[in-house]
Structure 1
């Protein structure tokens, strides 16, 4: 049961998911690279933008987590570790592996900081304060299903990122990626992240986790469709049976 003012932060994240999904149906977010464009104000190097906007998701999560009365219990500590596995990679490893010299609008970076702050609060406070996770939760099928989804999604996300980096290693602009998840969809990195945070929602079995999973879908599904459209418009030889996000479906 959500308690006191905390529940309004969870509801705010759910509302933000709906607003984000609708907005991205009409506007392609200019994170840089293939969708970068002018008209969004000052920009920063994409590598800098990624570090600055993703770092709060790791650092603030730890700070908020440590406020919780369950912070030293085994299951919440395991959830903390899972969160940091993703966000240490996303904030402090992935940006320095990027080969793109693109730039990111400061506005986009600031909006992401705002979301990451809210999301860190919602999920850290749940797992270390408002949620109840006895050691017996480690034997619950929901925990293990969520953990498998999280690990599988993280693996797909990281391997797809690596495939894209290798394509850009030789220079010469964008090319069509092949292999791995790219056999089936144009954005397996996005699919991996959606599966990952769906796993988090299942493992924590919480509205807090579900709000993040729904926001991830709302944010990444329209972007996957935009990527798919861009590939098809840019490369006449692009595989016609490849889908945007869900193999054989979408």
Structure 2
């Protein structure tokens, strides 16, 4: 009963060992990364770029170069998918567009929106970049494998479009608010204000989760669901650590501000 209900929302899992393996890897690795964030073992970027110092010599990138390294390969994978898998129907085209737009927006923000104060370690940038690239490529490939299959009984395509638009706009808006916290040349962190920052410290993560579930609803594939669930676990952990960091740095940080879920967590 549960399985039949579940399968009414997604395409049948494809007979592809690659996609099936990537579905498990995405879910498990991202969930584990979220637990690591809670335990204090952070991926070294943003405010946590030097939290876990190592005795070994490590290569440091500028934040801008590091962020471009994270997102550009995935953006190019999305862009190339229009040439590799052209004209495969409305759902596939929208999925390709959503994946490509997501990473284009990331690069745009890196170049024109974000302001930086730290750096990024190459040892963190490479696995994150590879993860994004493989995720974008697998998302599109999993959609390609649905060609010729009957549509899921419950069509989530149009709700997915709405969720994706809300998520990408909300994420961009809160990134813009973060960038406006600092005047030109300033590098210190401040308590964010405006938007949903008054109730959660990571509304940009909240909208990113909404955006990825929008992509999942557009695709309705098992891989899309596994990736979104894994991303949710990771961003829950990252936001928990971010709130803990603000509490340690600012005595006047409002205790009623949650990590990512308003009034809950």
Residue in 2 that maps onto 1:19: 32
Residue in 1 that maps onto 2:17: 5
Residue in 1 that maps onto 2:233: 218
Q: Match for 1:233 among 248, 254, 264?
A: 248
User: Which has the higher relative contact order, 1 or 2, with Cα contacts under 8 A spaced 6 or more apart?
Assistant: 2
Mapped contact 2:81–2:140 kept (Cα < 8 A): yes
How much does 1:141 deviate?
A: 5.0
SS of the aligned residue for 1:44 comes to: strand
How much does 1:12 deviate?
A: 2.2
**Corresponding pairs, count:** 245
Moved over 4 A (4+): none
SS of the aligned residue for 2:61 comes to: strand
Show CA shifts across 1:78-134 (max 9, x none).
Answer: 22112222110102x11112221421000111111221122022101022x212489
Matched, 1:143 2:157: yes
Residue in 2 that maps onto 1:62: 79
Question: CA 1:5 to 1:63, structure 2 compared with 1: closer, same or farther past 3 Å?
Answer: farther
Q: Give ranges in structure 2 of 5+ residues lacking alignment.
A: 1-12
Mapped contact 1:65–1:125 kept (Cα < 8 A): no
Question: CA 1:17 to 1:172, structure 2 compared with 1: closer, same or farther past 3 Å?
Answer: closer
Q: Match for 1:115 among 107, 131, 136?
A: 131
Q: Match for 1:29 among 43, 52, 55?
A: 43
Q: Match for 1:53 among 63, 70, 76?
A: 70
Mapped contact 1:142–1:205 kept (Cα < 8 A): yes
Q: Which moved more, 1:113-122 or 1:17-26?
A: 17-26
Residue in 2 that maps onto 1:126: 142
Residue in 2 that maps onto 1:78: 94
Which whole-Å CA distance do the structure 1 matches of 2:148 and 2:164 have between them?
18
Mapped contact 2:81–2:96 kept (Cα < 8 A): no
Q: Which moved more, 1:55-64 or 1:70-79?
A: 70-79
Q: Give ranges in structure 1 of 5+ residues lacking alignment.
A: none
Show CA shifts across 1:147-204 (max 9, x none).
Answer: 1111111111111100110001252611111110102100011111011101111222
- Calculate the TM-score normalised by the size of structure 1: 0.88
More helix by share: 1
